[in-house]
Structure 1
Amino acid sequence: MVKQGAFRYRVWLGLLGCSLTFAALAAEQGSSPVEMYRYINDKGITVIDRLGVPPQYIGKGYEVLNEQGRVIRVVPPAPTAEEIEKRKAATAQANSDAQLLRLYTSVEDVDRARERKLSELDGLTSVARSNLQSVKTQQANLQSQAADQERAGRQVPEHLIDQLNMLKTEEKRLQQDLQHYQQLRTKANATFDADRARLVQLLGDSPTP
């Protein structure tokens, strides 16, 4: 009888402990703030939902309300593709401006850099033109020798023909170099013009003549 009574007492204690645990959990849940979510569905209707915002509407942004209906948090809409591109462009412009300010402290710095670059390209152009003139002179001499051989009724030597072909190849390369230098000069002028104009905006200076 004593053992049976002790067993019943332990069972009663166990049930009491479970009841207290469930009561504590219920009280904790009851005390947590109630949140509601307000969003606009695909029909343009404002919806207030206690369960949350459906995934297809999250990107459009929504508001979180308390149990009194006051807004306690606003989740903005996700940026559009156009907005993302604008942000990228703004970031790229900011990086470019920072680089420009590291390179130049004044508009005059841009002008001096332009002069150095154009002088360098003009030097390369001058060398290429001089080489081209030398090649043309050599071609004229060799062609004269070849003509002399033909007038004398002799076959033009193979080495003379090879030299003429090599000079033609060199002439073509030098012509391409001259065209390339001209393109670089035009591009450099455009780049320095853009850098100068942007620096004027960043520094608030008046462009010097």
Structure 2
Amino acid sequence: MVWVFAGSLSLPVAAQGVLLYRYVNAEGVKVIHHTIPPEYAQNGYEVLNSQGDVVEVVQPSLTDTELAALQQKRELEAWDKDLLKRYSTVADVKAAKRRRLGEINTNIAILRGNILNLDSQIAREQRRAADSERQGIQVPESILINIKNFRGEKAAAERQIEERRDEYRQAEDKFDKDIDRFTFILERREQARTSY
């Protein structure tokens, strides 16, 4: 009874039609089978019904080169979209570049001013230390701590200036690329417009 029941469950599946796979094997021969080996699945295949009709086509997997090209295409499309959203003309991009580089230069100028101030504070503390030594007394610990702290702050400000200079170079390079790309986009649009 159980076997009959189990057999009757499989009848509707057979009535619907068994799906087959058509793929090309390593010898270049088309094979039709009820399963497809994994090593052939990545090359693409067709799914057939019991009448031999193609019900689905599975495309081959992309190669590493094709995947890299697709990724590059998507990145360019995203870049183009971003540029077109932010700018109307090449002059807009150049103005944004000037503003950004100006901001970085202002930041560098502030840091340089801080360094000059720290140099003055260091010199003042060193004079105080020298005065103590000339009087034959031990330099107060607070003066030594101040000198150490001011030198640490100066070193940190100098590092920040180097970071801002790197940021300047990176921003300049990025905006130059944006200008070149935006110019290309506008030229491509103009060519498309005039070709109609």
State TM-score, norm by structure 2.
0.74
- Separation in 2, partners of 1:148, 1:37: 95
The verdict on how the C-alpha distance between 1:155 and 1:86 changes in structure 2, with shifts beyond 3 A counting, is: same
- Separation in 2, partners of 1:71, 1:107: 52
* Fraction of identical pairs, as percent: 31
1:99-148, CA deviations, whole angstroms, 9 ceiling, x for partnerless residues?
11111111111110011111111111111111111110121122122112
Aligned residue runs from structure 1 range 51-130, under 5 A: 51-52=33-34, 54-56=36-38, 57-62=40-45, 75-130=58-113
CA RMSD, 1 decimal? 3.1
Match in the other structure for 1:143: 126
Please report how far the alpha carbon of residue 85 of structure 1 lies from its aligned counterpart in structure 2 after TM superposition: 3.1
Unaligned 5+ runs, structure 1: 1-24
Please report how far the alpha carbon of residue 36 of structure 1 lies from its aligned counterpart in structure 2 after TM superposition: 8.2
Runs ≥4 residues deviating over 6 A = 69-73
Larger Rg: 1
- Separation in 2, partners of 1:148, 1:72: 96
Unaligned 5+ runs, structure 2: 1-10, 189-196
Please report how far the alpha carbon of residue 84 of structure 1 lies from its aligned counterpart in structure 2 after TM superposition: 2.6
- Separation in 2, partners of 1:129, 1:59: 60
State TM-score, norm by structure 1.
0.70
- Separation in 1, partners of 2:154, 2:47: 76
Count of residues in Structure 1 that have an aligned counterpart in Structure 2: 174
Match in the other structure for 1:46: 29
